[in-house]
Amino acid sequence: MNRPRTGRRVASGLAVLAIIGSGPLAAAPAGAADVTGSPAAVSAVAGDPLPTRSARTPVEEPRGKVVSRITLSIREEPTSRSAYLGGLRPGTVIPLFCKVRGENVDGNNLWYLLGDARPGYVAARYVENQSPVPYCRR
């Protein structure tokens, strides 16, 4: 007997949200706003004001391709000494929200804040941007 699979997709999606929401830097659900009315944002540098991720974010964010030979670390702040949030495999195309100046990595002090409201920064030294990436607004 064939059963419809509608419940399985919903349950899988909720399981993913539960896993994502369990970390200390979990992203807010789509459309959620903080008390100031702007969506949750990630600090560029400890003590600096938060860059804003406007509710009117363009549908097509800039993208970049990971060009490192090994897994590229995603960091909490734009420095290799900050908390590790995960990694990206070589060749992965990723959305980029904006860029900031941070730790110098092999002569490049730019870091990209990941797009799609995903927390974390990656060293621009190991990402080939495929379109212009704006600086983060402070």
> Dihedral sign, CA of 79, 84, 85, 90?
positive
| DSSP 8-state symbol, 70 | S
Edge-first strand listing for the sheet containing 84-88: 84-88, 72-75, 121-123, 108-114, 93-105, 63-66, 127-129
* Per-residue pLDDT tens listing for the chain (138 residues): 444 444 444 343 434 333 344 444 433 344 433 433 333 444 344 444 445 555 555 458 899 999 999 999 999 999 999 999 999 999 999 999 999 999 999 999 999 999 988 899 999 999 999 999 999 987
